[in-house]
Amino acid sequence: MTLLYPWVLLGFPLYLLCERFCRQRIQEIYFPNVPMLKKATKKGRDLTRILRYALLFLMLLALSAPVQEKRLTQDHGIGYDISLLLDASDSMREAQRFETAKTILSDFIQSRQGDRLALSLFADYAYLSVPLTYHKEALTTVLQHMRIGVAGTRHTALYEALYLGVRLFENSTAKQKIVILLTDGLNTVKSVPLQVALAEAKKQQLKVYTIGIGDDYRRKILQRIAEETGGKFYQATDPQALQAIYHEINQLEKSTLATDTVTYHIPLFRYPLLLALLLMLPFLFLAYRQRTLSLAHYATLFFLLVALYGPHTTGEALGAHQPDKSLLLVLDLSRSMSCEDTFPSRLQIMYNRVAKLIDAFPSTKIGLTGFAAQGYLIAAPTLDHHALKQLLRQLDLKHISREGSNILAALQNADMLLPTQGSRTVVLFSDGGQMQDFSEEITYAKAQRLQVSVYAIGTAMGGVIKADNTLRKDKAGNIIITRINPRIKILATETGGIYLQHTASDATLAQLVQSLLSGTDPTDNTSETFREQREPYALPLLLALLLLGATHLGFRRSK
């Protein structure tokens, strides 16, 4: 809480001084029993004095304009684009290197205000986890859920990861672009030559900072990568050294954004005024008992009420805030999605429709999450749709468990990735799985304000599931037939979304796009304008204060 006019509180000691030295001195007639009368009324007069002092202080406090300050910051300019490459091979288990790196990276991510960051992991192959995004909380959430093995465990695709990290900047308009690569091993995959990755980095005019941990990496290779791109090589011997390295990089590559900060105030004067109004009731009752109640007391109460509940006016616009519009796409990655009852397969149709839906919302932050037996965090909401579609094409299902359809886990991931404010729109691509009851998912979605639309893929006739060129069978030896589950429609209708079943034409997708555009519009670029509320309470409050003070000082009598 802040006082806009703290000097107003000086009125309280001034009042005490005036009570002492400024009283009217009118001669009174003495009676023999005055001491006895004074003693009998002393307790009531003391309580009256305490209430009067409390009333005066609270009214002065309200008059000093207590407020809660809020700051609205608008960025003008483009910060850094940073690609974070993290070794997730099996050797990173040693001495908890992977978990330590995740913790330090999380702190680094939070410190990069105004920058876009991307996250890639590499082991047997390079895996783009999060495209370039401003959404720091979602990026940190994805990072914390990453585990060794998400990109294999046996090899280290170092050069491939560098090439992938560099290619992220193809459509970047940032003036400063950097890559931070951390590894504890040497390249063992021959997918991309080092010369090709370095040539691409130089073409993009970006810096590469390399960090080697442990003893098995090739120092000269990491030094070469850093030197040829204008970066710097670091060697981390322990967690403290690693943290210091990221701190140094953070200082070397400091973003300078032009920002406008506007401070607006939320008035809090009503709280002391309300308390003063409550104390006014026993004060008036004592004045009545002591036969000192006058018209001025009623006038004081009236002006207090006017100050507390009086009209307000709207001030000039202080600034505009762009609402965070995000759309989250949830992908069913379970085994049944490989069924070919729709050509070429449910999975390929899902990929195709997701890519087209991404193109339909060019100015919306879009994120991806998937589910099978558990939920999988794929990408935080981002405006880099090119990288998002690249990630979609490279999605490798060999390293995840695809049994089951845990839609609740997918909704929980959606809740983590979507901003808490604004519309929270989810589009679920699925065949519905084998679930008979969606009540738990509906309850969760409603509690978290998730609006779930369902794009169902599959046919009522169904089809078989192939695995390694063999048909999947149940425990009794019967061939499994998977069909679309129409019961999932209730998940959409109960959460305010729309249910659509896939057709060969693009008409169904167009209907989904139109539905998302109507009502809660994910592409709405209107901004919310903040206006400060002006409360003309000071004049009636000042009148109430003067009346209360004058009522007491004007009628005091000297002996």
Q: Could you give the 3-state DSSP secondary structure of residue 483?
A: coil
Q: Give the DSSP letter of residue 480.
A: P
Strands lying side by side in the sheet with 207-213: 126-133, 116-122, 81-87, 177-183, 207-213, 233-236
Instruction: Give the C-alpha separation, 119 to 16, whole Å.
Output: 66
Q: Which of 270, 296, 310, 312 is nearest to 61 (CA)?
A: 270
Domain map (residue ranges) of the chain: 76-258, 326-517
331, β-bridge pairs: 370, 429
Residue 120: which of 110, 131, 112 has the closest Cα?
131
State the Rg of the chain over Cα: 34
The domains spanning 76-258 and 326-517 adopt the same CATH topology:
yes
Can you list the residues of the chain whose pLDDT is less than 50? 25-31, 76, 257-258, 318-323, 520-530, 555-559
User: Which tokens in the block code for residue 346?
Assistant: 């449910």
User: In whole angstroms, how far apart are CA 476 and each of 373, 435, 470?
Assistant: 22, 21, 16
Q: 217: buried, middle or exposed (CB in 10 Å: 19+, 13-18, 0-12)? A: buried
State how far the alpha carbon of 325 is from the alpha carbons of 112, 363, 372, in Å.
21, 9, 27
Residue 341: DSSP 8-state:
S
Helix (H) or strand (E) holding 331: strand 326-332
- Long-range contacts of the stretch 512-518 (C-beta < 8 A, 24+): 512/357, 512/427, 512/453, 512/455, 513/357, 513/360, 513/361, 515/453, 516/327, 516/361, 516/425, 516/427, 516/453
Beta bridge partners of residue 126, listed in sequence order: 122
Q: CA 427 to CA 354: how far, in whole Å?
A: 10
CA atoms within 13 A on the CB side of 62: 27
Candidates 65, 72, 71, 73; CA nearest to 2 is: 65
CATH number listed for the domain at residues 76-258: 3.40.50.410
The DSSP line for 86-115 is EE-SGGGGGGGHHHHHHHHHHHHHHH-TT-
Alpha-carbon distance of 163 to 172, in angstroms, equals 15
- Residue found under tokens 């003067």: 546
Pick the CATH number of 326-517 from 3.30.360.10, 3.30.700.30, 1.20.140.10, 3.40.50.410: 3.40.50.410
Cα(74)–Cα(259) distance, integer angstroms: 5
CB distance 139 to 110 below 8 Å: no
pLDDT in tens, 378-394: 888 888 888 788 778 87
Q: For 331-346, what is each residue's pLDDT tens digit? A: 999 989 999 999 999 9
Q: Which pLDDT does position 389 carry in this prediction? A: 86
